[in-house]
Structure 1
Amino acid sequence: MSAQPAAPPAAEPMTHREVLESLSGLLLVLFVAMISGTIVSVALPQIIGALNGSQSQYTWVVTASLLASTASTPIWGKLADLFNKKLLLQISIVIFMIGSLACGFAQNTGQVIAFRALQGLGMGALQILAQVIIAAMISPKERGRYNGYLGAVIAVATVGGPLLGGLIADVSWLGWRWCFFIAVPFTIAAFVLLAKTLHLPTVRRPDVSIDYWGATLIAVGVSVLLIWVTFVGDSFAWASWQTAAMAGGGVLLLAAATWVESRVREPIVPLHVIRRRTPALAIVASLSVGMAMFGGAVFLGQYFQIGRGYGPTSAGLLTIPMMLGVLVSSTISGRMVSASGRTKPYILTGLVVLLAGFAGLATIDHATPMVLVSAYMLAVGVGVGMSMQNLVLVIQNTVPLSEIGAASGAVTFFRSLGGTVGVSVLGAVLANRVATGIAEGLAKAGIPVHGTGAAAGGLNLAAMPEPVKAIVRAAYGDATGHIFLVSAAITAVGLVAAAFLKPARLRDSLDLPASPAEDQTPAAV
C-alpha cells in the first residue's frame, strides 16, 4: 500500500473539549442507527400481523436490513480510509433517512423488506463510520473509556427502542408506521450537529482504488446462503438440487471473493489483517457476540408477545434486564480497560457470562417464571456489554492508522454477519419448531388445520379463534428455548477463540510507530 501524505492537523491530538463536541454528534448518529433496529423488534408481530405476513417474512424484515448493513460495512470502512470521512457520514445519514421514510409508507411486507434493505445500507455506514472517526481522533488506550460511552449509547438505544416501539404500536393515533418515521428528526438533528462540530483533516490519495468485484461477490454469496437457510427444510428438502445449487453456489461465490481479495490492490476485506492470529480470533468471537445482540433482541420480543401474551409496551419493558446489563457492563468495563490497558480478561469474562445466559434461555418455555427469564437476559446483556466493543478495540490496536477503517470494517462486518446468519438460522429453526408444535397441538385438539391460518406460520392472532390462539402461543413459547440452545453452542466457539487471544497492552499513540510484523503489539502482560 502506497504511503499517504501526512496532514499537519493530525499530528496533534484533539483537546478533550474538541473530542467531546464531535463525540456528541457521533453518538447521536450511532443512537439513530441502533434504535432503528430495536424500535421495530417489539412492534414486528403487529406490523407483520397488520400486513398479513408470515414467520419467514417476519425474519426477513430483520434480515434484509442486517444483510444490507453487513454487506456494505467493509465497503464503507474502506471508503473511510480513502475519502473524506465527514462527507461519507453525511451521505449515509441521508440514505438512512430516505430508507426510514420509505419503510413508514410501505403497503405490504414485500415493500417493508425492500425498504429495510435501503435503511440497512445507511445503518451499516453509520455504525462503522462512527467507530472509524472515533479511532481517528483518540488513541487505543484512551479509546477504551470512550468505547464505554459508545456501549452505553448502544444500550440506551436498545433499551429505549423496544419501549418506544411498544408505546408507538400501542397508541392508536400513531400506529406502527411511526416506528420508522420517528428516526427522521433524529437524523436531521445528527446531520446539523455533525456539520457544526466534526472537523477532521482530509487526506487525499491519488491512487484510490475500490474493490467493486470483491464487494459484489461477498454481498451476493452471503445473500444466496441466507436465502437457502431461510427456505431449506420448508420449501425444499435438505438433500435436493435446490440445496446443492444454493449452498454450493454461495460457497463458490465466497471462494471467488476470497481469491479477488487476495489479488486486488485495495481489498474490501484486508486479508493481510484478518490472517493474523489476534484479528482472526477476535473476528470468530465477534461472530458469536453478533448473534447474541441481534438474535436476543429480535426473538425475545416475539416470545413475550406471541408466546406469553404481553402487549408491545409490556414486551419492551420486559427486555430491560438485558439492556441494563449492556449499559452497566459496557460503561464499567470500558473505564477499566482504559485504566489497565488490557482487554482479554474482560472479553473472556463477558463471553463466559454470555454463555451462561444463553444456557439459561435455552431452558425457557411458555410457562417459565419471568424472574428466571429476566435473570438469564441480564446475563446475556452483561456478556455482550463486556465483549462487543473490546473485540473491536483488540483489532484496532494491531493496525496502523491508515488501515483503521478497513480493519474496523472487517470486524464489524463479521460481527454483523454473525447477527445476520444468526437471525436467519434461528428464524428457520423457530419456524420449523413452531410449525411442528402448532400441527401437533391442532391434531390433539381435533381442530382441522386448513382455514385456521396458523399452520402456515401466520402471525395475525387477532383473526384466530381462541382455541387456536392458545395453541399458537404455546407453540411459540415452547419453541423459543431451542433457538437459544443453538446460540449457546456458537457462543462456546467464540469463548474458545477468545481464550487463545494473545494478551497485549493497548498503545497510547494514535498510530503505530512503524509497520509491525504479524501480531507485533506493545509489551505483553
Structure 2
Amino acid sequence: MSQVSEATVDSVANTGDALPHADVMRVISGVVLCILLGALDQTVVIPAVPAIAGDLGGFGQLSWIIAAYLICSTVSTPVYGKLSDTYGRRRLLMSCIAIFMATSALCALAQSIHQLIWFRALQGLGGGGLMALAQAAIADVAPPRERGRYQGYLSAVWAIASISGPLVGGFVAEQWSWRWIFWINLPLGALAIWACSRGLRNIKTHANGHKARIDLVGMLLLAGTISTVLLALGWGGREYPWLSFEVVGMLAVGGVLATLLMAQEKRARDPVLPPPVFANPTYVSSVLVSTLMAVVLFVCLFSIPLYAQLLRDASAAESGLYVAPFMLSNVSGNLLGSMYARRKGTIRGALRIATALSCFGLALSALMPAGAPVWMTVGAMVITGPGVGVCLLGTIMSAQNAVPSKNIGAGTGALLVLRSVGGASGSTLAGALVASGLAVASGAMAASHISANFELLYGITAVICAAAFIVTLRMPNTPLRSQISSVSLGE
C-alpha cells in the first residue's frame, strides 16, 4: 500500500479541500493503535492490582499505581498539544510512544511498589500525548463536517479497549504474571511507531509565522494546577475528609496557581493555553459540555459494576458485563453524532438532543425501585449511553472547528485535560456516595441504604446533564467547515 502521496497533500494545502477517504484512512491507521495503547493501559492494570500487592506488598499505596499514571498523563496532555502545533504531530507522537514503551519495560521490571509507582508516573508522561495528538492529527486531514466520521473510529477503539481491558488484565495476571501486562505494550508500541511513521509521514500542521518560544512558566503552572486539583479530588472522602485542612488547602493552592496561570498566559508570546481560544463562545461551550458529560461518563463506568455487585449479587466478572451495553450504546452515539454533523453541517442540535436524552435515562435510573428487573436497569443505561457518546465526539468536533488551525493542538489538549478533570470528579462523586452508603449499611436495611445512595447518585448526575443541556441552549450554532487549512507538505 502506498503512503499519502505528496501531490495529494500539496493539493490539499493549496485548495483547503479534504483528503480522499483512502488517504485519511492511512492516517487513521497510524493513530488508532495509539488510542488502543492509551485506553487499554488505563483499565488493564485495575484487575491486576491484587496480584501486584501480593508480589510487591504496599497494600496502602496501591491506589497510586492508577493515580500516578492519571495525574501525569493529564498534566502532559495540553503540553503535548501545544508543542505539536509548533513541531508537528508525527515527531511528538512517535516520541510519546517511545517513552511509553521504555517506561512499560521499567514497570515490568519493578522490584518494589515505590518503583512501580514512579515508573507508572513516567509512563503517564508518554501516555498523555497519545489521545490528544491522535485527535489533533485527524483535525489536520479531515474538515470539521467530516471529522466525526473518523473520530468515531477512535471512539469505537477506546470503547472496546475499555470493555476488554479489565478482562485481559485479569486473565493475564491469573494465567501468567502481572508483569506481562506491561511487557505486551512493547510489540504493540513498535507496531504503533511503524504505523505512525507510515501514516503521518507527509502530514504536518500549520507552521507559526515566528520562531516559537516554549512557555515553560505556563507549562509548570498548568502542571501544578492540574496536579493539586486531581490530588484533592483523589484525597477527598478517602484519605482525608472533604473539609480537612489537606483537601481544602490543596484546592486553595490549585486556585492560586490557576490565577497565576491566567496572568502568565495573557503576557506569554506563545502561551500553552492561548487566551483567544477561550474568548470564543463556541469553544467555551464545547469545553463546558465536554467536561460535564465526562462527569456523567465516569459516574456510570464507576457505578454500574458496583451496582451489579452490591444490589444484583453479580460476581466481579459478571459485573463487567453490565457495563458492556452502556459502552456499546455510547459507541452508537458516536456514529449518530457523526451522521448528524455530516447531514446538517452543524452539531449544536445533536448536543441538545443528546444531553436531554442522557438526562432522561439517568432520571429513570434515579426513580427506579430497588427490585426493578435487570432489563429495566440496563435499559435506562442504554438510553443514557448514546447521549454521552454524541457529546464526547460532538464537543471535540465543535471545539476544533472553533479554533484557528495554528491552535488546534492546544485547543484539543485543553479540552481533553478538562475532560480528564471531569472524569476524576465523576469517579470521586460516585465513590464518595457509594462508600457513604456502605458505611451506614448493616443488617436487613443494608440493601435499602445502598439502593438509596445509588438513586441519589443518579439523581445528581441527571442534574449535571441538565446543566449541560442549558449550556447547549446558549451555545452559538456555528456551521462546521467543509474545508481544512492545516495540512501542508513536509515531515
TM-score (norm 2): 0.84
Q: 1:186 aligns with which of 177, 183, 188?
A: 188
Per the TM alignment, residue 222 of structure 1 is displaced from its structure 2 partner at its CA by 2.7
Provide the residue aligned with 1:259 in structure 2: 263
Q: 2:199 aligns with which of 190, 197, 200?
A: 197
Provide the residue aligned with 2:163 in structure 1: 159
Q: 1:415 aligns with which of 399, 415, 419?
A: 419
Contact kept, 8 Å, 1:43 with 1:166, in 2: the verdict is yes
Provide the residue aligned with 1:502 in structure 2: 476
Q: Which range moved further: 260-269 or 223-232? A: 223-232
Per the TM alignment, residue 51 of structure 1 is displaced from its structure 2 partner at its CA by 7.0
Provide the residue aligned with 1:462 in structure 2: none
Q: Which range moved further: 364-373 or 124-133? A: 364-373
Contact kept, 8 Å, 1:224 with 1:249, in 2: the verdict is yes
Per the TM alignment, residue 130 of structure 1 is displaced from its structure 2 partner at its CA by 0.5
Inter-partner Cα distance in structure 2 for 1:506 and 1:145: 13
Per the TM alignment, residue 475 of structure 1 is displaced from its structure 2 partner at its CA by 7.8
Per the TM alignment, residue 346 of structure 1 is displaced from its structure 2 partner at its CA by 1.3
Q: Which range moved further: 390-399 or 422-431? A: 422-431
C-alpha change, 1:339 and 1:42, in structure 2 (3 Å) is: farther
| Paired letter, 1:130 | A
Per the TM alignment, residue 433 of structure 1 is displaced from its structure 2 partner at its CA by 3.8
Q: Which range moved further: 310-319 or 279-288? A: 310-319
Provide the residue aligned with 1:79 in structure 2: 83
Contact kept, 8 Å, 1:56 with 1:428, in 2: the verdict is no
Inter-partner Cα distance in structure 2 for 1:65 and 1:225: 15
Provide the residue aligned with 1:337 in structure 2: 341
> What is the aligned-residue identity percentage?
30
| Paired letter, 1:32 | L
Task: Spell out the pairing of 1:156-305 with structure 2 (5 A cutoff).
Answer: 156-168=160-172, 172-199=174-201, 200-201=203-204, 207-232=211-236, 236=240, 238-305=242-309
**Structure 2 residue runs without a partner (length 5+):** 1-8, 487-491
Contact kept, 8 Å, 1:166 with 1:313, in 2: the verdict is no
Q: Which range moved further: 212-221 or 150-159? A: 150-159
Secondary structure of the residue aligned to 1:336 is helix
Question: Where is the helix percentage greater, Structure 1 or Structure 2?
Answer: 2
Per the TM alignment, residue 252 of structure 1 is displaced from its structure 2 partner at its CA by 0.9
Contact kept, 8 Å, 2:85 with 2:205, in 1: the verdict is no
Query: What value does the CA root-mean-square deviation take over the aligned residues?
Result: 3.3
Contact kept, 8 Å, 1:365 with 1:479, in 2: the verdict is no
**Structure 1 residue runs without a partner (length 5+):** 1-6, 446-469, 513-525
| Paired letter, 1:494 | A
Per the TM alignment, residue 279 of structure 1 is displaced from its structure 2 partner at its CA by 1.0
Q: Which range moved further: 393-402 or 292-301? A: 292-301
Provide the residue aligned with 1:19 in structure 2: 24
Task: Spell out the pairing of 1:5-154 with structure 2 (5 A cutoff).
Answer: 10-11=13-14, 13-41=18-46, 58=63, 60-106=64-110, 112-154=116-158
Provide the residue aligned with 1:456 in structure 2: none
Secondary structure of the residue aligned to 1:509 is coil
Q: Which range moved further: 421-430 or 397-406? A: 421-430
Per the TM alignment, residue 112 of structure 1 is displaced from its structure 2 partner at its CA by 4.9
Count of aligned positions: 473
Per the TM alignment, residue 118 of structure 1 is displaced from its structure 2 partner at its CA by 2.9
Inter-partner Cα distance in structure 2 for 1:363 and 1:183: 43
Contact kept, 8 Å, 2:146 with 2:338, in 1: the verdict is no
Do residues 356 (structure 1) and 360 (structure 2) align? yes
Secondary structure of the residue aligned to 2:356 is helix
Per the TM alignment, residue 321 of structure 1 is displaced from its structure 2 partner at its CA by 0.3
Inter-partner Cα distance in structure 2 for 1:128 and 1:92: 11
| Paired letter, 1:225 | V
Per the TM alignment, residue 338 of structure 1 is displaced from its structure 2 partner at its CA by 1.5
Inter-partner Cα distance in structure 2 for 1:181 and 1:226: 28
Contact kept, 8 Å, 1:159 with 1:323, in 2: the verdict is yes
Contact kept, 8 Å, 2:331 with 2:389, in 1: the verdict is yes
Secondary structure of the residue aligned to 1:20 is helix
Provide the residue aligned with 1:401 in structure 2: 405
C-alpha change, 1:321 and 1:235, in structure 2 (3 Å) is: closer
Do residues 427 (structure 1) and 401 (structure 2) align? no
Q: CA offsets per residue over residues 268-307 of structure 1, 9 Å max, x none?
A: 1122111221111111111112223333324434444566
Q: 2:391 aligns with which of 382, 387, 393?
A: 387
Inter-partner Cα distance in structure 2 for 1:55 and 1:302: 21
Inter-partner Cα distance in structure 1 for 2:56 and 2:453: 24
Contact kept, 8 Å, 2:105 with 2:186, in 1: the verdict is yes
Provide the residue aligned with 1:489 in structure 2: 463
| Paired letter, 1:38 | T
Inter-partner Cα distance in structure 2 for 1:44 and 1:360: 34
Inter-partner Cα distance in structure 1 for 2:319 and 2:204: 45
C-alpha change, 1:398 and 1:225, in structure 2 (3 Å) is: closer
Contact kept, 8 Å, 1:353 with 1:380, in 2: the verdict is yes
C-alpha change, 1:49 and 1:81, in structure 2 (3 Å) is: same
C-alpha change, 1:243 and 1:90, in structure 2 (3 Å) is: closer
Provide the residue aligned with 2:328 in structure 1: 324
TM-score (norm 1): 0.79
Inter-partner Cα distance in structure 2 for 1:262 and 1:76: 20
C-alpha change, 1:134 and 1:310, in structure 2 (3 Å) is: same
Inter-partner Cα distance in structure 2 for 1:182 and 1:362: 41
Per the TM alignment, residue 19 of structure 1 is displaced from its structure 2 partner at its CA by 1.6
C-alpha change, 1:166 and 1:296, in structure 2 (3 Å) is: farther
Inter-partner Cα distance in structure 1 for 2:50 and 2:322: 16
Provide the residue aligned with 1:516 in structure 2: none
